[in-house]
Amino acid sequence: MSSLFSPLKVGALTLPNRVLMAPLTRCRAEGANVPTALMAEYYAQRASAGLIIAEATTVSPRGHGYPNTPGIYSDEQVAGWKLVTDAVHAKGGRIFLQLWHVGRISHPDYQPNGELPVAPSAIAPKGQLWTGKAMADYVAPRALRIEEMPGIVAEYVRGARLAKQAGFDGVEIHNANGYLLDQFLRDGTNKREDGYGGSVENRARLTLEVTAAVVSIWGSDRVGIRLSPGGVFNEMHDSDPQRTFSYVLGELSKLELAYAHVTRVTAQDIAHGAKDGVGPQQLRHCFKGVLITAGGFDRPQGDAAIQAGWADAIAFGVPFLSNPDLPRRLEQGLALNTPDESTFYASGAKGYSDYPFAQ
């Protein structure tokens, strides 16, 4: 029986185990959103993961919505990420970069020239964000014009090309958690009446265009995509998620991607209004390739999902944050370090690169 500790072929790679590191925003970039030597140390410590999926990384200056998050649109950022990939590869690891654009989850303080954030429709999310100076309400974004869509695709293409220059082993397209591509996909945030709105086929158009374009840079066997069908983070919802995500996964399956990364609904999601019922178990049949899932798994749950066939690998988030040697700890039944939540989005090494390895 396959388990978390059996090898797995994922596109062009053969992973030594199925304990993957989920993308985790940590806000440790510096200056002009440039990765640092500290980030290289952090990722190299976690190189025993079957695959590291590096933190969400913006493909455009317009794509930012949080402080000190890295980008992949400048030569300086490429050089910073090269420190990371070289360090991971020196430890025998494998690492993909997650390509990101936050869309409406931003503020003019993050935007070039103080402009409005962009989105499929001019609908402000509820709530507030940290601008780097103070808490502020989200603003109503500017709806993208249809003639701007090729430019959005081009930003992802540039990010994909620069990720290759930076030495990554592949890329994951961030199409989850209420960010730009997810905003287009779901009818709760997409009220357009042109070729990118209305029907599920139209709402999925940007996702499929971006994915095909990124595949043209990397080849399908080094491209994955992340989706959150039941997620409600960033005030997301869809009137028929089963239909929406069945369609998009079926179309993505035709591209023969390295994997689809589909999150399950967690207790925290349900507490915020999610419905438990649309996730990797219900959607497994729609995608013919490798399916990765994430969402609060422990070792028994991960093994059970793999053995039942509705997942091929498990991405761990917080446990990897506080346990750089997580695969060994899980395999040997060793105690896990307790994460320090106060340092999740802080700066410096504390709560980042200083968690101990098991003795």
Which residue in the block uniquely carries the two structure tokens 């049949």? 285
**Annotated catalytic residue within 179, 196, 259, 352:** 179
Q: What rounded mean pLDDT belongs to the chain?
A: 96
If one counts every other C-beta atom within 10 angstroms of the C-beta of residue 134, the result is: 8
Residues near 252 by Cβ (< 8 Å), separated by ≥ 6?
A: 207, 208, 211, 225, 260, 287
- Going by pLDDT thresholds of 50, 70 and 90, the confidence category of residue 1 is low
What was the pLDDT predicted at 302? 97
Residue 355 designated active-site? no
* Rounded CA separation 351/348 (Å): 8
Closest CA to 297 of 326, 273, 328, 266: 266
Task: Give the span between the Cα atoms of 322 and 358, in whole angstroms.
Answer: 11
Give pLDDT tens digits for 9-50: 999 999 999 999 999 999 999 999 999 999 999 999 999 999
Q: Is the pLDDT of residue 6 over 70?
A: yes
Give the Cα separation of 211 and 207 in Å (integer).
6
Given pLDDT bands bounded at 50, 70 and 90, which one contains residue 269?
Answer: confident
Distance CA 170, CA 327 (A): 21
Domains of the chain: 8-343 (3.20.20.70)
What integer is the mean pLDDT of 216-244?
94
What Cα–Cα distance (Å) separates residue 239 from each residue in 1, 75, 200?
Answer: 38, 42, 11
Residue 9 forms beta bridges with which residues?
14
Comparing CA positions, the residue from 69, 186, 58 lying closest to residue 121 is 186
Residue 267 in this model has a pLDDT that exceeds 80? no
C-alpha–C-alpha distance, residues 77 and 96, integer Å: 15
* Six-digit token string for 143: 């709806």
User: pLDDT at position 321, please?
Assistant: 97
In one-letter notation, the amino acid at residue 35 is P
Q: Does 297 have pLDDT greater than 90?
A: yes
100: tokens are: 């990101």
Residue labelled with tokens 């999925």: 204
- Residue 285's CB is within 10 A of a number of other CB atoms, namely 11
Whole-angstrom distance, CA of residue 335 vs CA of residue 296:
17
The one-letter amino acid code at 306 reads I
Q: Where are the alpha helices (DSSP H) in 46-121?
A: 75-90
Task: Give 354's contacts (C-beta < 8 A, 6+ positions apart).
Answer: none
Distance CA 327, CA 314 (A): 11
Q: Give the pair of three-digit tokens for residue 201.
A: 């086929």
Asked whether residue 233 carries a pLDDT value surpassing 70, the answer given is: yes
C-alpha to C-alpha distances, 248 to 19, 177, 229, nearest whole angstrom:
26, 16, 11
User: CA–CA distance from 273 to each of 230, 231, 235 (Å)?
Assistant: 10, 9, 10
HSE-CB at 124 with a 13 A cutoff on CA atoms is 12
**Owner of token pair 């030569």:** 75
Give the pTM: 0.97
DSSP 115: P
pLDDT of residue 228: 95
